[in-house]
Structure 1
Amino acid sequence: MATPLPSCPRCESKRVRYREHRNDWFCDDCDHRWPAEAQLSGAADAQKPLLFLSYARRDASELADRLKGDLEANGYRVWLDQPEIKPGGEWEHEIVDGLRAAQLLVAVLTPSAVRRSTDPANPDAIDSVCLDEISFARFAEPPTAVVPVMAQPCEPPFSIFRLDYVDMCAWQDSEDRYHAGLQRLLAGVKEALGGKVTYRTEVNDLQPWDFAAFLFEKRRDFCGREWLFDEIDLWLKTSREPALLITGDPGTGKSALVAELVHRNPSGQVVAYHCCEADVLATIEPARFVRSIAAMMASQLPGYAARLKDTAVKGALDEETCATDPFSAFEFGVLTPLQGLPAPNEGSRYLLIDALDESLHTGSDARGTIVHLLSTFIERLPGWLRVVATTRKEVAVLQRLAGLRARELAAEDPRNVDDIEQYLRQQLRSPDLTQQFTHAGMSLEDAVSTLRAHVSGNFLYAQQVCRGLERGLYSFSNLDSLPPGLSVYYQRFFERQFPNASAFDATRSVLEVLVSAETQVTRESLAHLSGIADEGDLWAALRRLGALVVYDGTGFRVFHKSLSDWLTEPARAGQLFHINLSKARTRLSDAMLASTAADVESVAPEARASLLRQLVATGRWEQFDELVQNWSFIEFESAAGWAAFYPQLVQAADPSQRERLRTLPLALVNVGWSRASRGDDRNGVFMFYRAFSAILGLVKRDDSKVPWLSQFLLDVTGLPYDMPKYCSMHLDLHAVDDMAYAYMSHVSAQWTESVGLIERARLPVPQRVLEWRNGIRSVFGS
């Protein structure tokens, strides 16, 4: 009786074959390889979780060998490079196979494991393979869990900086130390395999934004720019200027440069980074920026991490405090602690920021933005800390940061042209493209030279042309038909894909959603909001857009802001492929209103916030007013949320209509107290606190709105709700719970702070406002 063929341990396919010359099995469906002896180990052994042990041989071989034995003794299979890679084998493929088969990666961190090619002490002048293994695990689909083990003091790579690590730096001191570390590792592995991710407390409490997937995408196929890296390094070593701006037109590779700098991080120069994404509003909020960079700095600077335990620093970076006043949070939570630290032995460090221009709200003059925050404090950074930032040549950014050194990525710069040529040569060496240009009778150099002349020094355009050649949209035999520049490229792409208006109709509705939405859009939401109910029709519309629309794991979005800009450019109004942004927003808000009317409770908080912004942006004030007077709709946002959200609403409104938002905080108070009149006093206090947080959040970003604050206080004193009397009545803690009492004390502090802001603006404080302040202060003794 024949022995039945085994199944592939990865995909369970039966299409497998034994390769005698390699003594292994190979799956024809997923290309997985596994040794023949593994097939004989039995079904029970195959059920054990497989752990991939990533380590550097130079300084962790002994520990890796010992961990392998102890992990196997505790019921795990362990993939380790030395026994798994056969002499003469394709070691890169075998490592990838091991990573794909593993359920978890144990990353043993040592200086050699995290070494970069640019590290002066790196004798090999190449990146550690361990960094690639960690990146592979992080960005696999689905991602592979990672448990870091700190074997020797070193800086964890940014891709896993949030993760808590098992400290085994003292594993050689004694058997007890080793076994204590092993037990922590076993516990961490068990939790990670169960789906639990353990974060470093001091880092995760600050909720840093995870840009890893964004940077991974931007860094794909990176090459060149060595001359610019040298310039940045020289600037750090020889200049005392606090900041360097790298400017450039859309598509010149600014974000890719940032991604590569984060990846290389020579000598740990990058202590924190932030990427402003206009279609992800959280990334352009100053409060989120402050807390995120504080978390990253804590992962790179032990002295700063220790300062985060100080009560004053922790209070400054508190979520609600930071949302209300991100400028003070930056000063007292970041700047002041850093000024007390000694300069690092390795020399200057820097904060890296991508796309400052995208941090500006539509119609903004940069007030109350990340640009404003940087311009306020940049001269006060400690001497060892600088800022390197990229931006388009946006007037509002350049004016705010006037006087700083600016380095332009000019398309015509010979060094940029050389980088483009290097990129094209790299892409054209792929088997598919090599076959294409050879078939057209061209040499590699002929193809590179011809394409270089067409792409005009623009990396984004070069990337799109190469993708177009791969997909058969262009031919090497007719390269003269390539469009000159991004705008013409977009025009010709759409003309080719959509020969008439009817062909574009379905895709237009998809693009209207994507360019007007404020974040990635899930497939379900895209189908609903675009009105394309049939799933096949939706996918057909997306396929026709090709690589111009990407899915990043959470939803769909246009691949680059330049496409949104081109589609909605007012100068193109009336053309077939123009999208009227105002009409698109109206259509989007109509669909969202319909969902809200059907079931308010089912609408996600972020969708509610987005709807309010869309209504303000399109001037639909009647619908806006109706929603903000609906307790069930607006109670989703916290005080910290309102502190950030109210300024967003003001910026979203047409400047001529912003005055209509002056009374929004008062409307929140009325909604809260109306709710309280039905028997729950807490709702009145909670909404009072949120309203105060909203107006203070606005004023601290834009001091021209202090008159709005003064009017708000005066209006509140004219309401039938006597706050001082209410507080006095409920001073007995038996009459109100601890949480409500705490919120009342917050309101007391906010009232006092508001009066101070009005006085500093040299505006008169109404007498009734002073009387209320004194009445509330008498209750709380503040």
Structure 2
Amino acid sequence: MNIDPVVNALKSIAKPEASLVINQAQRNETVVRTLKQFNFDPVQPPKDVDGVYVYSLIEYGVDKQEVLLNLFREREIKNAFWSAYTSNNPLGFYKKVEKFLQGTDSEYDIRLMKIELRSQLEEFGEIFIQVAKRSKSIEFEPFPEWNLDEYPTEFKSLIREKIRSFCGRQFVFDAFKQFCNKNRSGYFTVAGDAGMGKSTIAAKYVWDNKSPCYFNIRQTSSNRAELFLESIRKQLSKRYQLQNVEKANLADLLEQVSKRIPVSESLVIVVDALDEVEQEAGGNLLDLPTALPERVYFLLTRRPYTIDKKRLSAPDVPMEELDLRANDYVNLSREDIKKYIGLFLNVDEDHKKALRQWIKDRNIDDNDFVEQVATKSENNFMYLRYVLPGIAKGDYQDLNLTQLPDGLQDYYQVHWVRMRMDVKPQEVKVFILFILVEIGTPITWKMIADIAKQEEYDVQLVLDEWVEYLKEQTIDGDNCYSIYHASFLDFLKSKPVLNTKRKLLKK
């Protein structure tokens, strides 16, 4: 079948020249109409390879950029795709496409339009497999695993979402690079409060370097040592063609991998949110090895912790921690925050127009807007992630930004649950949290114990349990505590259990 008329038809609805396809329903209608235009049955695809290829291109190509449509019309690309399909080698297809585009105008256009080529090739392959299955032809069996990335499918959507509005944090990557340059192996940990962008840093490093990775997620119970090992084992086996490692532990895997790492390269494994891990006491979190082969590094992230919750001991392995809350990084983080606000204000297609109108209506200078919102954020990206769209929607009348958006409310509700305040509260926890909320400024644990008339030891235990939600700082030689972010403080003030009119708290 001649593919040119199909591509020409798809070009007429390609973006950004046309805007016919503005939602999924309209897109589906356009796909069906185009299939019928070329005598395809929208329910039953053809059974031959050429037919399935063109059919898949229609399902994929509606609203795609012209440069992508031109790419898939090339016979060399079609042949490379089928070869990769039958050999279950999607990465080989990606490499051939890269080679085909090298030095061409199409390569320049793809970069100029910031098209993520890898994800587009993956999307087409996934659609082809779906169409092939619907064709019910045995010619397409066995169906391959169409994964163009070295990292696992289960984390793809998370990684893409995290990096969608990524900017800054170069000082973190520079520090990690320096650590690797001066050490033969090691553990490098990025620590910081909730919402400071640790998971996004991990996602960005994985995206840029295609590193093996694991993201611990408590909500989906993807936070256990056996799941971590299974995932990393699969990733390393695929990357280094390891054999007979089904029962190997992580230390043994890394020893085998170290013999296969090219001399000029190293292996970095990224592990996000160690604080989310659920594991019985004893030993390192996720059973991380106490010794590492040369040129093997771990990039770890976690929230603040007490020494007993660190659970990472490797006496002979270099370790370094970058705490995003440290004074050395406050100004650098603020600059990144301002860049992030600028991204919403000048680049983000979903919000920039409404944000600019909001600023114009209130006669606010751009720089003043950025500075004031940055100050409100307290260097917390999660706060901005919800508040900036809220401003664009008109939820706020001025820069006081007192109303918490629903997304941030839900985010803090998870904090509340993890602080175990959703179960029938123990009085001591209510007293401590009430004092922290009402005072609102740093206070020593001894003063909290004195006000609450509780044992100092009991108070310290609760504060240690809540360490990731508190800001700890030393003032005049005393350890003082406060709620880690003003917006979380506002959330806590709205909780009925902390109402000042309760008899329990009036005392």
What band does the TM-score fall into relative to the shorter chain?
0.5 to 0.7
Q: State the alpha-carbon separation in 1 of the partners of residues 128 and 55 from structure 2.
A: 16
Q: Aligned partners of 2:294 and 2:38: how far apart in 1? A: 62
Partner Cα distance (1:221, 1:383) in 2: 35
CA contact (8 A) 2:337 2:374 kept: yes
Contact 2:216 2:274 in 1 (8 A): yes
| Cα pair 2:152 2:235 within 8 Å, conserved | yes
Match 1:446 to one of 368, 392, 400:
368
Residue of structure 1 equivalent to 2:503: none
- How far apart, CA to CA, are the structure 1 residues paired with 2:365 and 2:66? 30
Q: Distance in 2 between matches of 1:222 and 1:566?
A: 29
Question: 1:473 Cα deviation (Å)?
Answer: 2.7
1:458 counterpart = 2:376: no
Conserved 8 A contact 2:159-2:203: yes
Any stretches of 5+ residues in structure 1 without a counterpart? 1-8, 11-17, 52-69, 116-121, 139-143, 149-184, 318-328, 483-491, 495-544, 550-557, 578-782
CA contact (8 A) 1:244 1:389 kept: yes
C-alpha separation in 2, matches of 1:236 and 1:290: 23
Shift, 1:409, TM fit: 1.5
Corresponding residue for 1:287?
226
The corresponding residue for 2:453 is none
* Mapping of residues 38-77 of structure 1, within 5 Å: 42=37, 44-45=39-40, 47=42, 71-72=49-50, 76-77=54-55
Quick one: distance in 1 between partners of 2:372 and 2:269? 39
1:568 to 2:425 alignment: no
Aligned equivalents of 2:30, 2:387: Cα separation in 1: 42
The offset of 1:91, in angstroms, is 6.8
Contact 2:53/2:128 (<8 A) preserved? no
For 1:136 and 1:460, locate their aligned partners in 2 and report how far apart those are by CA, in whole Å. Answer: 29
Change (3 A) 1:188 1:78: closer
Contact 1:356 1:371 survives alignment (8 Å):
yes
Equivalent residue for 2:354? Answer: 432
The 3 A distance-change label for structure 1 pair 280 and 563 is same
Question: Which of the pair has more CA radius of gyration?
Answer: 1
The aligned residue for residue 389 of structure 1 is 300
SS at match of 2:226: helix
Residue in 2 that maps onto 1:79: 57
Aligned equivalent of 1:371:
285
TM-score normalised by the chain length of structure 1: 0.40
SS at match of 2:39: helix
Aligned partner letter, 2:404: F
Structure 2 CA distance for aligned equivalents of residues 137 and 286 of structure 1? 34
Query: 1: CA distance between counterparts of 2:313 and 2:137?
Result: 47
Q: Which one-letter code corresponds to 2:430 in the other structure? A: A
Q: Alpha-carbon deviation of 1:398?
A: 3.3
CA contact (8 A) 2:217 2:276 kept: yes
1:338 and 2:257 matched: yes
Aligned sequence identity (%):
17
Q: CA RMSD in A?
A: 5.2
Cα distance between partner residues in 2 of 1:192 and 1:254: 46
Q: In 2 relative to 1, CA 444–186 (structure 1 residues): closer, same or farther, beyond 3 Å?
A: same
* Structure 1 counterpart of 2:118, one-letter code: L
- Cα offset, 1:241, TM superposition: 4.2
Aligned-residue offset at 1:215: 2.5
Contact 2:192 2:325 in 1 (8 A): yes
Deviations 1:533-588 (A, max 9, x none): xxxxxxxxxxxx45655xxxxxxxx58854544683867638999xxxxxxxxxxx
Deviation, structure 1 residue 41: 6.8
Pair 1:348-2:266 in alignment: yes
Matching residue of 2:349 = none
Whether contact under 8 Å (1:50, 1:76) holds in the other structure is: no
CA 200–435 in structure 1, closer or farther in 2 if over 3 Å, else same: closer
- Per chain length, whose mean CA-contact separation is higher, i.e. which structure has more relative contact order (CA < 8 Å, sep 6+)? 2
Paired amino acid for 1:390: T
1:604-753 superposed matches below 5 A: none
Equivalent pair of 1:548/1:559 in contact (CA under 8 Å): yes
Q: Given the superposition, is the C-alpha separation of residues 434 and 93 from structure 1 closer, same or farther in structure 2, using an over 3 Å criterion?
A: farther
Q: Which moved more, 1:410-419 or 1:385-394?
A: 410-419
Query: Is the contact between residue 44 and residue 134 of structure 2 (CA under 8 Å) also seen in structure 1?
Result: no
The answer to whether the aligner puts 1:408 opposite 2:328 as a matched pair is: no
Q: How does 1:244-393 map to 2 (within 5 A)?
A: 244-265=188-209, 268=210, 270=211, 272-281=212-221, 283-301=222-240, 305=241, 307-308=242-243, 310=244, 313-314=245-246, 316-317=247-248, 329-332=249-252, 334-339=253-258, 341-360=259-278, 365=281, 367=282, 371=285, 373-374=287-288, 377-379=289-291, 381-393=292-304
Contact 1:344 1:384 in 2 (8 A): no
Contact 1:113 1:129 in 2 (8 A): no
- Asked if structure 1 preserves the Cα contact closer than 8 Å seen for 2:386 and 2:407, the reply is no
Whole-Å separation in 2 of the counterparts to 1:560 and 1:136: 35
For normalisation by structure 2, the TM-score amounts to: 0.59
Tell me how many residue pairs correspond in the alignment. Answer: 377
Q: Distance in 2 between matches of 1:25 and 1:440?
A: 32
Which amino acid in the other structure matches residue 400 of structure 1? L
Contact 1:432 1:470 in 2 (8 A): yes
Q: 1:217 aligns with which of 161, 164, 178?
A: 161
Deviation at residue 450 of structure 1 after TM alignment: 1.3
Q: What's the CA shift string for 1:261-320, capped at 9, x where partnerless?
A: 11111xx5x2x1111122333x2221121111010112222xxx2x32x3xx33x25xxx
Q: Deviations over 1:127-177 (max 9, x none)?
A: 763124257679xxxxx54659xxxxxxxxxxxxxxxxxxxxxxxxxxxxx
SS of 1:249's partner is coil
Letter in 2 for 1:129: E
Q: Does 1:398 align with 2:310?
A: yes
SS in structure 2 of the partner of residue 252 of structure 1: coil
CA shift, 1:405, in A, is 0.7
Which of the residues 131, 136, 142 maps onto 2:118? 131
Instruction: Please state whether the residue corresponding to 1:251 is helix, strand or coil.
Output: coil
Q: What SS does the aligned partner of 1:386 have?
A: strand
Following the alignment from structure 1 to structure 2, what is the Cα–Cα distance between the partners of residues 114 and 222? 28
State the 1:389 CA deviation. 0.4
